[in-house]
C-alpha cells in the first residue's frame, strides 16, 4: 500500500516536472487546462451524454426557450441546442486539430528542409510561403474552399493551408538559428550525416515553439472553422457545427436568441481557454523570446 | 612518421584571403602547437584541415593537405565525413555549447562509435564508459544518463574530448581547448591531452594563444601572424633562441613570476585585419627591426638549422 502511494506520488511529481505538468501548475493553467480536458471528454463521449438526438426534428416543439427538458432550448426545427452544441464540439475540435496537425507536419518538413539546405530551394519555398502569409487566414481558406467545394474535408485542408506559412516560417527560423550553434558544428565535426543532424539534433531543439504555436493555432482554427461554417462552407446539415448553428440562428435572432448565443459563447470561451493554456505552455517551456523571434 | 602535412595552404573568402601560406607537418605521438594572436588564422587553419570551409563560405585556393598519403583538398564531402570524427577528431573551442542540450551525454558519445566503428548501441555504450573512465571522469556509467546542463565546464570539456576520441582517431585537432575553462581545470585538461598523445600515439595539433601552454606540452611550434606561418621549429629552440621578431615579442609578453618592479609587456599596435594586410612583411609596421625591404617584399619561409623562419633580418634579439 505504501509502495503504491509512493509510486503514485512519484508519477505525480514526474508529471509535475514535465512541461505539460508545469503548464497545469498555475491556477490559470488548471482552469484553462481543466476546461479543455473537459471539453475533449465531452466531445469524445458525446453519444452517451447528449440528452437528445442532435438531428431529431420536432417542428411542434420549435424555438423553445431554455428550460426543462431542453436545457438550452430548441432551434426552429425543434432540435435540442445542448445536444447540438456538444456534437458541435466534436466537429470543431476534430476539424481544427486535424488541420493543425497536417499544417504542423507539412510546415515543419518544409521549414526544416528550407532552413537546413538553404539556397535556391529555400528561396522558392519561402517565397511561396510568404505569399500566402501576406493574405488574411480567412481569405486563404475561402479561396481554397471555393476551389474544392464546401464540406468538412475541404474545411480541414483549407485551415491547414491557411496556417501552413506560420509553421514553415517558425520552423525555418529555429533551424537557421540552431544551425549556427556550436553543438551542431561539433556534430558535423564528428562526421554526422545530414539526416542525423536534422532529425536527432535540429528538430528536437526546434520543436518547443512549434508545440505552443500549434496549441494557439488550434484556437484560431476553431474560429476559422466556425467562420467557414457560418458562411455555410463547412459542415453541411444536419452535421452540427458551432458556426453553422450560429448562422441558422441569425434568422430568429430576436425570436429565439439562445440558438445563436450558446454556440457563440462556447466558441468564445473555448478560444479564450486555448489561448490562456497556450500562454501557460509558453511560460512552462520558457520560450517567450523564441516565439516572438519568428 | 608524418601523418598529416599541410603545404603552403591558402584560403579565400570571396576576394579576401585570410590565409596566405601555412605549412606544417605533424607525426604520430607528437604535439604541434600553433600559436598567434587573435585573427592570425589559427582557427581557420583548423577549419581547413577539417574540411569545414565551405560551411563558412570559404575555399582553399592553393596548397595541399595530405593525411596518411591521401590528398584532402580534393576530397568529396561524403568521403570527408568518414574522416571527420573517425580518423581526425576536433576538440572545439567552447565546451559549454558543444553538446546538444536535449540529449543525455551517453547517446551523444555513443553515436560516434556507432557511426564510425559500426558498433551496436550496447558495444558503443561499453566503449563510452571505458573512454570516460580513462579521462578520469568519476562514475562514468551514471554520467551517461546526465544532461549537459547538469555538468561543470571541465566535465563538459572532457565529454567533448571523449567524443573526439570515441572512434580512435589518428589526429586530434584541439582548437583552444582550455580558453573557456578555469585556470586550475586548464592544467588538468592539458595534462590529460598530453597523456593521451603518449598513450594512444596520437598526433595532436594544439591551437592556442597561450605561450605557457605551448611551452609545457608541445614538441614543435608554428608561430602564425596575419595568415602566415612566420616561424617554426622545436619548442626548445623557439623559446630559447627565437629568430623572428614577432616570436620574440610574443615570448616577451609571458608574465614572469614575481620579478620586483618588472612591468608586463605587450606588443605595440594591433594585428592587421584581413582587409588591410600591409604590403611586404605583415609584421613590419609593429617591428622595431624593420627596414625598407620589409615594407615591400614578403619574406619567404626559409629553413634554418632546426626549423624555418620568414624574416628578412632574422636573428636572436640583441
Whether B285 shows a pLDDT value over 60: the answer reads yes
- Percent above pLDDT 90 for chain B: 16
Report pLDDT for B240: 87
Report pLDDT for A7: 46
Whether A8 shows a pLDDT value over 60: the answer reads no
Q: Å from B167 to nearest chain A CA? A: 9
Residues 52-91 of B with CB under 8 A from A: 52, 55, 81-86, 89-90
A70 phi-psi bin (left φ>0, alpha ψ -120 to 50, beta other)? beta
Q: Do B84 and A187 touch (CB under 8 A)?
A: no
Task: Show residues of chain A in contact with B55, CB under 8 Å.
Answer: 185, 188
Instruction: Please choose, from the candidates B94, B87, B109, the residue with its C-alpha nearest in 3D space to the C-alpha of residue B159.
Output: B109
Contact B215, B234 (CB under 8 A): no
User: What is A95-294's CATH number?
Assistant: 1.10.3720.10
Q: Å from A183 to nearest chain B CA? A: 4
What are A106-164's pLDDT values in tens digits? 999 999 999 998 889 999 999 999 998 888 888 988 888 888 888 888 999 999 999 99
Q: Do A189 and B100 touch (CB under 8 A)?
A: no
Whether B42 shows a pLDDT value over 60: the answer reads yes
What are A42-79's pLDDT values in tens digits? 988 888 888 777 777 777 777 777 777 877 777 777 78
Contact B90, B164 (CB under 8 A): yes
Report pLDDT for A4: 43
- Percent above pLDDT 70 for chain B: 97
Q: Do B100 and A187 touch (CB under 8 A)?
A: yes
Length in residues, chain B? 318
Report pLDDT for A128: 92
Report pLDDT for B158: 86
- CA–CA distance, B223 with B212 (Å, rounded to integer): 14
Pairwise pLDDT comparison (A19 vs B53), residue with the higher score:
B53
Q: Do A205 and B101 touch (CB under 8 A)?
A: yes
Q: Do A189 and B50 touch (CB under 8 A)?
A: yes
Whether A5 shows a pLDDT value over 80: the answer reads no
Q: Where are the domains of chain B?
A: 2-87+167-309, 102-165
Pairwise pLDDT comparison (B130 vs A249), residue with the higher score:
B130
| SS3 track for B221-251 | EEEEECCEEEEEEEHHHHHHCCCCHHHHHHH
What are A22-46's pLDDT values in tens digits? 888 888 888 999 999 999 999 888 8
- B118-122, B182-186, B217-221: which has the minimum mean pLDDT? B182-186
Task: Show residues of chain B in contact with A189, CB under 8 Å.
Answer: 50, 52, 84-85, 89-90, 92
Q: Do B83 and A183 touch (CB under 8 A)?
A: no
User: What is B2-87+167-309's CATH number?
Assistant: 3.40.50.300
What are A255-278's pLDDT values in tens digits? 888 888 888 999 999 999 999 998
Whether B99 shows a pLDDT value over 80: the answer reads yes
Q: Å from B218 to nearest chain A CA? A: 24
Contact B16, B275 (CB under 8 A): yes
Residues 111-170 of B with CB under 8 A from A: 111-112, 115-116, 160, 163-164, 166-167
What are A193-202's pLDDT values in tens digits? 888 899 889 9
Q: Do B98 and A192 touch (CB under 8 A)?
A: no
- Band of residue B257 on the pLDDT scale cut at 50, 70, 90: low
Q: Give me the phi and psi of B266, to 5 degrees please.
A: -130, 180
Mean pLDDT over B297-302 rounds to 85
Task: Show residues of chain A in contact with B163, CB under 8 Å.
Answer: 186, 190
- A51-65, A228-242, B286-300: which has the minimum mean pLDDT? A51-65
Q: Å from A106 to nearest chain B CA? A: 24
Q: Is B34 on the interface with A (CB under 8 A)?
A: no
Whether B205 shows a pLDDT value over 90: the answer reads yes
> pTM score, two decimals?
0.76
- CA–CA distance, A91 with A97 (Å, rounded to integer): 10
Q: Other C-beta atoms within 10 Å of A192: how many?
A: 21
Task: Show residues of chain B in contact with A204, CB under 8 Å.
Answer: 100, 102-103
Tell me the β-bridge partners of B19: B11
Please state the separation of Cα A279 from the chain's center in Å.
14
- B90: nearest CB among A183, A189, A193: A189
Residue of A183, A200, A205 to mutate when probing chain B, most B C-beta within 10 A: A183
ipTM: 0.74
Q: Find, in chain B, the residue whose alpha carbon is nearest to that of A203.
A: B102
Report pLDDT for A63: 74
- CA–CA distance, A74 with A80 (Å, rounded to integer): 5
- Band of residue A167 on the pLDDT scale cut at 50, 70, 90: very high
Pairwise pLDDT comparison (A56 vs A241), residue with the higher score:
A241
Residue that the C-alpha cell 594585428 belongs to: B271
- Band of residue B219 on the pLDDT scale cut at 50, 70, 90: very high
Mean pLDDT over B204-209 rounds to 90
Q: Where are the domains of chain A?
A: 95-294
Task: Show residues of chain B in contact with A192, CB under 8 Å.
Answer: 81, 85, 111, 115
Amino acid at each position: 500500500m505504501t509502495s503504491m502511494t509512493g509510486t503514485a506520488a512519484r508519477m505525480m511529481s514526474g508529471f509535475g516536472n514535465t512541461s505539460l505538468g508545469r503548464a497545469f501548475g498555475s491556477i490559470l493553467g488548471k482552469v484553462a487546462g481543466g476546461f479543455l480536458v473537459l471539453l475533449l471528454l465531452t466531445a469524445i463521449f458525446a453519444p452517451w451524454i447528449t440528452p437528445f438526438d442532435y438531428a431529431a426534428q420536432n417542428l411542434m416543439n420549435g424555438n423553445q426557450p431554455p428550460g426543462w427538458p431542453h436545457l438550452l432550448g430548441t432551434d426552429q426545427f425543434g432540435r435540442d441546442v445542448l445536444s447540438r452544441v456538444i456534437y458541435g464540439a466534436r466537429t470543431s475540435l476534430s476539424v481544427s486539430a486535424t488541420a493543425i496537425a497536417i499544417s504542423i507536419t507539412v510546415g515543419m518538413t518544409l521549414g526544416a528542409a528550407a532552413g537546413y539546405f538553404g539556397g535556391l530551394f529555400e528561396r522558392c519555398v519561402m517565397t511561396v510561403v510568404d505569399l500566402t502569409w501576406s493574405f488574411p487566414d480567412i481569405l486563404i481558406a475561402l479561396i481554397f474552399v471555393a476551389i474544392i467545394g464546401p464540406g468538412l474535408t475541404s474545411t480541414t485542408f483549407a485551415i491547414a493551408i491557411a496556417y501552413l506559412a506560420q509553421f514553415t516560417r517558425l520552423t525555418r527560423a529555429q533551424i537557421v538559428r540552431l544551425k549556427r550553434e556550436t553543438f551542431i558544428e561539433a556534430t558535423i565535426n564528428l562526421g554526422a550525416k545530414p539526416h542525423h543532424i536534422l532529425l536527432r539534433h535540429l528538430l528536437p531543439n526546434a520543436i518547443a515553439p512549434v508545440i505552443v504555436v500549434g496549441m494557439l493555432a488550434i484556437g484560431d482554427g476553431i474560429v476559422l472553422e466556425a467562420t467557414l461554417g457560418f458562411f455555410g462552407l463547412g459542415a453541411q446539415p444536419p452535421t452540427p457545427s458551432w458556426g453553422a448553428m450560429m448562422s441558422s440562428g441569425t434568422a430568429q435572432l430576436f425570436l429565439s436568441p439562445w440558438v445563436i448565443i450558446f454556440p457563440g459563447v462556447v466558441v468564445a470561451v473555448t478560444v479564450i481557454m486555448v489561448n490562456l493554456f497556450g500562454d501557460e505552455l509558453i511560460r512552462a517551456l520558457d520560450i517567450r523570446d523564441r516565439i516572438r523571434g519568428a | 612518421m608524418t601523418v598529416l602535412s599541410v603545404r603552403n595552404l591558402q584560403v579565400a573568402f570571396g576576394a579576401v584571403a585570410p590565409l596566405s601560406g601555412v605549412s606544417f607537418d605533424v607525426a604520430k605521438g607528437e604535439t604541434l602547437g600553433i600559436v598567434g594572436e587573435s585573427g592570425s588564422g589559427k582557427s581557420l587553419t583548423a577549419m581547413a584541415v577539417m574540411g569545414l570551409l565551405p560551411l563558412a563560405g570559404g575555399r582553399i585556393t592553393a596548397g595541399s593537405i595530405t593525411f596518411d598519403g591521401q590528398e584532402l583538398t580534393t576530397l568529396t564531402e561524403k568521403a570527408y565525413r568518414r574522416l571527420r570524427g573517425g580518423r581526425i577528431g576536433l576538440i572545439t573551442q567552447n565546451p559549454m555549447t558543444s553538446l546538444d542540450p536535449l540529449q543525455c551525454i551517453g547517446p551523444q558519445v555513443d553515436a560516434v562509435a556507432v557511426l564510425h566503428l559500426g558498433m551496436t548501441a550496447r558495444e558503443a555504450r561499453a566503449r563510452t564508459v571505458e573512454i570516460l573512465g580513462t579521462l578520469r571522469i568519476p562514475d562514468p556509467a551514471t554520467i551517461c544518463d546526465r544532461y549537459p546542463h547538469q555538468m561543470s565546464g571541465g566535465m563538459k570539456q572532457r565529454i567533448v574530448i571523449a567524443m573526439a576520441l570515441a572512434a580512435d582517431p589518428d589526429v586530434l585537432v584541439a582548437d583552444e581547448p582550455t580558453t573557456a575553462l578555469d585556470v586550475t581545470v586548464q592544467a588538468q585538461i592539458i595534462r590529460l591531452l598530453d597523456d593521451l598523445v603518449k598513450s594512444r600515439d596520437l598526433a595532436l595539433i594544439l591551437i592556442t594563444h597561450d605561450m605557457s601552454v605551448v611551452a609545457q606540452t608541445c614538441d614543435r611550434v608554428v608561430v602564425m601572424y596575419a595568415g602566415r606561418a612566420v616561424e617554426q621549429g622545436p619548442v626548445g629552440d623557439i623559446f630559447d633562441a627565437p629568430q623572428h621578431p614577432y616570436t620574440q615579442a610574443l615570448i616577451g609578453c609571458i608574465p614572469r613570476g614575481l620579478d620586483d618592479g618588472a612591468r608586463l609587456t605587450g606588443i605595440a599596435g594591433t594585428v592587421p585585419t584581413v582587409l588591410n594586410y600591409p604590403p611586404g612583411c605583415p609584421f613590419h609596421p609593429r617591428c622595431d627591426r624593420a627596414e625598407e625591404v620589409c615594407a615591400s617584399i614578403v619574406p619567404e619561409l626559409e629553413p634554418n638549422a632546426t626549423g624555418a623562419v620568414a624574416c628578412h633580418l632574422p636573428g636572436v634579439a640583441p
